[in-house]
Structure 1
Amino acid sequence: MLYQTKVTNQEGIRGQLTFSDNEALLTKHPLKDGSGYNPEQLIASAWATCLNATIQSILESKRIQTASRVDILVTLCKEEKGIGGYYFQIDAEAAIENFSSTYAQQIIEQAHLRCPVSKLLSGAKTLTLKTVDY
């Protein structure tokens, strides 16, 4: 094991997240004003950070110093049929500065296979990852 953390939530989207190894974060309803973070923001920040860190790690292993960027758009959607409820549509765009789209896509696909958050999300029907120009 390299690292472990525990997060506790006792109040849903109207409370806080308590971390075993960090300060607490306030949570908030995504459709209401106020301070705090909602699940959409947290999943987007987790994937954007992890995927871009993995892209940077691959670039560093190739001794390439250039910028990269990951943008994540998370949309809360209501189920139209079936059991009801809600789901997240998660659309990601990744880019590497000064790379051809073909080479950037190769690196981004490698990163997507290695990134721990990508692995958690793999197979999701409401997820896209696209390579774009920097």
Structure 2
Amino acid sequence: MTIAVEKVVYTARATAQGGRDGKVATNDGKLDVVVAPPAEMGGNGNGTNPEQLFAAGFAACFHSALKLVARKARQDADGSTVTAAVGIGPINGGAGYGLEVELEVSLPGVDRAVAEELVAKAHEVCPYSNATRGNIKVDLTIA
């Protein structure tokens, strides 16, 4: 199922040069980084990589969604964190590569059952969750 955006309110633009071994920069200059394959994938690791950038974006986006649903549920999300772990590996017998994600959520001071509900609701709200749902494995854990 394709999710259609009703009205685009913001568009981010980034240009890559050199693929996984080059640089990536946004058109507004706020992000300008060297990218390099990690040592685990045969690279020198002397730069960030697309998986780290994806993990950072997913963690930040999911945390915003979590804070939103917590506020609506009148729950205290102060001190909460979201850590995203993005794994990459071969799929289809090595014919390509795929991603998987684990989101580890910490909601100190919130009852575990309530935290589970909030995380599930955040997963319905988060744009990254909506973009990846049904496409890649996303595991949600509560620390």
User: TM-score scaled to structure 1, two decimals?
Assistant: 0.84
Question: 1:50, CA displacement in angstroms?
Answer: 0.4
Q: Write out per-residue CA displacement over residues 74-98 of structure 1, whole angstroms, 9 at most, x where no aligned residue.
A: 22212362x6122122122212111
2:88 is paired with a residue whose SS is: strand
Question: Does 1:28 find its partner at 2:36?
Answer: yes
Q: Write out per-residue CA displacement over residues 28-49 of structure 1, whole angstroms, 9 at most, x where no aligned residue.
A: 1122234321111011111111
Give the counterpart of 2:69 among 33, 58, 80.
Answer: 58
Question: Does 1:18 find its partner at 2:25?
Answer: yes
2:102 is paired with a residue whose SS is: strand
CA–CA separation in structure 2 for the residues paired with 1:101 and 1:23: 37
Farther off after superposition, 110-119 or 59-68: 59-68
**Identity over the aligned pairs, expressed in percent?**
24
Question: Does 1:72 find its partner at 2:49?
Answer: no
Where in structure 1 do 4 or more consecutive aligned residues deviate above 6 Å?
none
CA–CA separation in structure 2 for the residues paired with 1:61 and 1:20: 35
Matched residue type, 1:52: H
- 1:1-134 equivalences under 5 Å are 1-21=8-28, 22-31=30-39, 32-65=43-76, 66-79=78-91, 81=93, 84-130=95-141, 132-133=142-143
Farther off after superposition, 119-128 or 4-13: 119-128
CA RMSD of aligned residues (A): 1.9
1:46 is paired with a residue whose SS is: helix
CA–CA separation in structure 1 for the residues paired with 2:10 and 2:100: 29
1:118 is paired with a residue whose SS is: helix
User: TM-score scaled to structure 2, two decimals?
Assistant: 0.80
Q: Write out per-residue CA displacement over residues 96-126 of structure 1, whole angstroms, 9 at most, x where no aligned residue.
A: 1111111001111111111111111111342
Aligned length: 131
- What residue number does 2:5 align with? none
2:58 is paired with a residue whose SS is: helix
CA–CA separation in structure 1 for the residues paired with 2:103 and 2:71: 22
CA–CA separation in structure 1 for the residues paired with 2:57 and 2:118: 19
